[in-house]
Amino acid sequence: MYRRPLQSAVRLGINVTTSRAALGKISEREALARALLACQRARASSSTTTQCRSLHNSPQLFNVKETPQHSEDEVGSFTKLIEAMGFTGPLKYNKWKIKIAALRMYTCCVERINYDDFFERCTLPDTLNSWFLIAQLHVWMCLVRMRQEGREGKYMCRYIVHSMWEDVEQRCKIMGIDASHRKESLKSMTETFYAAIFGYDEGILSDDRVLAAALWRNLFNRECEDPRQLELMLEYVRKQMQYIDSLDAEDLLLTGEVKWRPMLEENAQSILKVATLTYNDAGL
């Protein structure tokens, strides 16, 4: 179909130019040039018609959720400049509200966990290091969730990690660890934390085998002999991540409230919709 207008235009251009050349009005070179110009115009019109027809007859349907969106907020050149210098540009929400929400979210990671379940079911020793391994697992899950919320989420992640190290240092002081040993312990925990973050990120983006290997290395410290314990923790991480993803982003950024699901449930696949959280102008 798209060849017919092209052929007719060529024939028309050749006939007209030939007749005019025969009459002596234009030269043979001008006749050939006009024929080529008519051919190019015909190609342009046929390609436009074909493109419009293909778009009109496209069977693909689009809705609002499939609309492509930018993963990062559009920021100006000045904001990019000051953030490249180490400062934080303007955010959608008040920075103090986000800081308070970050502190509250970290508190949920360490205060709303039943550590006895981990000590008993995973046969972990009741030590400061075991507490840190359990806490960092829940901190990592919160970091994964908040990193999805653009610049505000990344800003919140920074203060979640800051709150964690402040808490770890205070706990070391309460336990009576001297300054030199405390410095060595914090250095070792820092290396453990970032190694665990890397392993957990790789596991959550891969299959259960990779995530189970990350849990075996970091949470169990390579000393898990019962595969049922590893399976239990694998199911625990998957359902917690699924639950956190269902929480509202604005509520997390302004309140930081997270209620963890219990380790053992009758129906682990179900996700109950939590009640809508309320907050005031002070972020409380």
Q: Is 143 or 54 the better-scoring residue by pLDDT?
A: 143
- pLDDT of 188 above 90: yes
Q: Is 251 or 6 the better-scoring residue by pLDDT?
A: 251
pLDDT at position 242, please?
92
List the single range of 33-37, 106-110, 191-195 with lowest mean pLDDT: 33-37
Q: What is the pLDDT of residues 217-248, one digit of tens each?
A: 999 998 888 999 999 999 999 999 999 999 99
- pLDDT of 273 above 50: no
Considering 24-28, 79-83, 95-99, 196-200, the range whose residues carry the highest mean pLDDT is 196-200
Q: Residue 23, exposed/middle/buried by CB under 10 A (0-12, 13-18, 19+)?
A: exposed
d(CA 208, CA 62): 33
Average pLDDT over residues 89-107: 86
pLDDT at position 111, please?
94
d(CA 11, CA 189): 82
List the single range of 10-19, 194-203, 206-215, 236-245 with lowest mean pLDDT: 10-19
Residue 64 CB coordination number (10 Å): 5
List the single range of 97-106, 116-125, 260-269 with lowest mean pLDDT: 260-269
Residue 40 CB coordination number (10 Å): 10
Helix (H, G, I), strand (E, B) or coil at 226: coil
Residue 88 neighbours by CB under 8 Å, 6+ apart: 82, 95, 155
d(CA 266, CA 141): 23
Average pLDDT over residues 125-141: 95
Contact 214, 234 (CB under 8 A): no
Q: Is 90 or 188 the better-scoring residue by pLDDT?
A: 188
Helix (H, G, I), strand (E, B) or coil at 157: helix
d(CA 71, CA 121): 40
- pLDDT of 49 above 70: no
d(CA 233, CA 121): 10
List the single range of 42-56, 101-115, 140-154, 268-282 with lowest mean pLDDT: 42-56
Residue 269 neighbours by CB under 8 Å, 6+ apart: 239
Nearest Cα neighbor of 189 from 152, 246, 139 is 139
From residue 172, alpha-carbon distances to 12, 128, 178 in Å are 92, 8, 8
Is the C-alpha dihedral spanning 190, 191, 192, 198 positive or negative?
positive
pLDDT band of 284, cuts 50, 70, 90: low
pLDDT at position 40, please?
60
pLDDT at position 246, please?
92
Question: How many residues are present in the chain?
Answer: 284
pLDDT at position 131, please?
95
- pLDDT of 183 above 60: yes
Please, how many CA atoms are within 13 Å of residue 264, restricted to the half-sphere of its CB?
7
Place of tokens 């992640």: 157
Contact 9, 42 (CB under 8 A): yes
- pLDDT of 136 above 90: yes
pLDDT band of 3, cuts 50, 70, 90: very low
Contact 96, 256 (CB under 8 A): no
- pLDDT of 173 above 90: yes
pLDDT band of 78, cuts 50, 70, 90: low
